[in-house]
Chain A
Amino acid sequence: MKTYTYTEKKDTRSGFGAGLAELGRTNPNVVALCADLVGSLKMDTFIEENPERFFQVGIAEANMMGIAAGLTIGGKIPFTGTFANFSTGRVYDQIRQSIAYSGKNVKICASHAGLTLGEDGATHQILEDIGLMKMLPGMVVINPCDYNQTKAATLAIAEHNGPVYLRFGRPSVPIFTSVDQKFEIGKAVKMTEGNDVTIVATGHLVWEALEASKALFEEGISAEVINIHTIKPLDEEAILNSVAKTRCIVTAEEHNYLGGLGESVSRVLALNNPTPQEFVATNDTFGESGTPAQLMEKYGLNSTAIIKKAKTVIGRK
């Protein structure tokens, strides 16, 4: 079985910052906006190098989304930056009307998504954002897994003409994908080959899925881990090809099971190949304060939870 190791940990938001900095040097149409969270979003390098292409909006996310929509008129490619909570739920109608319905080329870049935001607690830990964004017609939804993939995704979305929601996080996590990867929107990445169970994971849960697959392998269970960085459009073919072989699936995400990746996968399976599925996701709940590791443990979003669900779903075949 293919195994993954890492030598360095970094936050995915820094991958975004690095990607944005590179875009600043290579794409003169890219502009950035922020609602008073420049440091948190790691936008400093872009700002330093392109002060005229940066718009500090202050604590006014609704205005930021509208300005971003307006900047596209004139050919700019705006990247907005704030926490995932303030990037989605707080400004849903602004995104819906001025960006999605209007078909504007805005990249909504959202940090501190999910429980791993940690100690700030539930007011800031959105677990509903994937659902909110994937329901908007035409919106692309991307949740990369590590620093390298987040950087690659940031570069890739600048080339896509249309609204994109790019979701990433706060904590340092292992870097296990390649530095020079080609990021294809909507194309899943098969991480391991396996025959007994498919594990489809997104974001921080990809590493946990790989850890789970190692432990399962030692118990004689071969898991096929698929990294779904793009939740919409979903790589249906990759999922269907895998379950044709394994005949069961676990979905894993740092999000409510309602509206998340798991539900998108369920629909694909229901329509094409009904298959037993277990969900690693939060169970219709808000989060709370704690360290990221404590929270992921308490809410069942780590490799231990994935191993347990994998065994359950294999038993349902």
Chain B
Amino acid sequence: MPNTQQLKDLTIQVRRDILRMVHKVNSGHPGGSLGCAEFFVALYNEIMDRNEGFNMDGIEEDLFFLSNGHISPVYYSVLARSGYFPVKELNTFRLINSRLQGHPTTHEGLPGIRIASGSLGQGMSVAIGAAQAKKLNNDSHLIYSLHGDGELQEGQNWEAIMYASAKKVDNLIATVDLNGKQIDGATDDVLAMGNIKAKFEAFDWTVVEIKEGNDIDAILKGMAEAKSKTGQGKPVCVLLETMMGNGVDFMMHTHAWHGKAPNDEQLASALSQNPETLGDY
């Protein structure tokens, strides 16, 4: 079991992966990826009970579904560094003939991916289906999912949120990345969603808040709490407050880096803020 320092080192390396991936192809989504780096690192290294190798059905292991597929850089980096595919393959992100498509897909057979995502708002339903399959299989493992906060503007989420509590899908921990930003600006300016916690609670979910969503220890503590609340008849929502662009000073406190790659100079600056820890791909 890695200690917190190891997870922090890995997070810095994941940041470097993200930055270098999007820089190379001058496209992709660094902001949300950086904001969720700690979460992914904690999830794949500490929180989830995973089997060796990759099996689509994922029997007797915890599964994760990424609904906001545009943060594929962090997903790919952490999957590779968790052993699902060679780290070197990160070099092919968004290139022709790559398994690392702009948005994650099962189509190219990339180990670790169980559903395509990118068109927003669909992952909660998929996660619920996978959770119900686990129940049918008498598999007590959990389903984890991640959703953008802006993504909650898609109505299908609310169909799914209503369903999950009505059907007591209590083996699901759905995390919402509360960074308060989307492509066009602050979520409050684009389409204010009001009190998201109150909304989930009104739909009869258990809500756990992680106020320091870029702090590994806070994530581990919050997710442990979320896990302790599964199996009690209610789905569990984690509200993870993160900083878009975290770890790169000029990418923080703005929505500008939602879907924009750094230029050479910006990359150099960003990498200098995150010195290599475990080796670049």
Contact = CB atoms under 8 A, between A and B. Distances in A.
Interface in A69-97: 69-76, 78, 93-94, 96-97
B231 interface: no
Contacts of A23: none
B58 A74 contact: yes
A52 interface: yes
A102 to B, nearest CB: 5
Nearest to B161: A63
Contact of B133 (A70, A101, A102): A70
Contacts of A102: 105-107, 115-116
A76 B133 CA distance: 7
Contacts of A60: 159, 162-163
Interface in A43-80: 52-53, 55, 57-58, 60, 62-76, 78
Contact of A70 (B132, B139, B166): B132
Contact of A94 (B107, B122, B130, B131): B122
A101 to B, nearest CB: 5
Contact of A57 (B57, B127, B130, B163): B163
Contacts of B125: 62-67, 69-70, 94, 98
Contacts of B123: 66
A266 B49 CA distance: 53
B159 A73 contact: no
Interface residues of B, number: 39
A103 interface: yes
Residue of A65, A73, A101, A103 ringed by the most chain B CB atoms within 10 A: A73
Contacts of A76: 133, 136
B128 A73 contact: no
A31 B136 contact: yes
A66 B129 CA distance: 7
B159 A63 contact: yes
Given A52-B136, A58-B163, A97-B117, A67 B106 contact: no
B106 A74 contact: no
B124 interface: yes
Contacts of B139: 74
Contacts of B106: 101-103
**Interface secondary structure of A, over-half rule:** helix
Interface residues of A, number: 32
Contacts, number: 118
Contacts of A62: 122, 125, 155-156, 159
Contact of A67 (B116, B128, B136): B128
Interface string B108-144: 0000001111110011111111111110110100000
Contacts of A97: 116-119, 122
B9 to A, nearest CB: 32
B160 interface: yes
B25 interface: no
Contact of B136 (A57, A58, A74, A96): A74
A66 B128 contact: yes
Contacts of B126: 66-67, 69-70, 73, 98
Nearest to B117: A97
Among A52, A69, A70, A74, which residue has the most Cβ atoms of chain B within 10 A? A70
A309 B122 CA distance: 45
B95 interface: no
A73 B116 contact: no
Interface in B30-67: 56-59, 63, 65
Contact of B116 (A55, A70, A98): A98
Nearest to A28: B136
B108 to A, nearest CB: 11
Given A52-B136, A102-B105, 8 more contacts: A66-B156, A67-B128, A67-B160, A70-B125, A73-B58, A73-B130, A76-B133, A101-B116
11 contacts: A60-B162, A63-B159, A66-B122, A66-B129, A67-B129, A73-B57, A74-B133, A75-B133, A93-B119, A97-B118, A98-B126
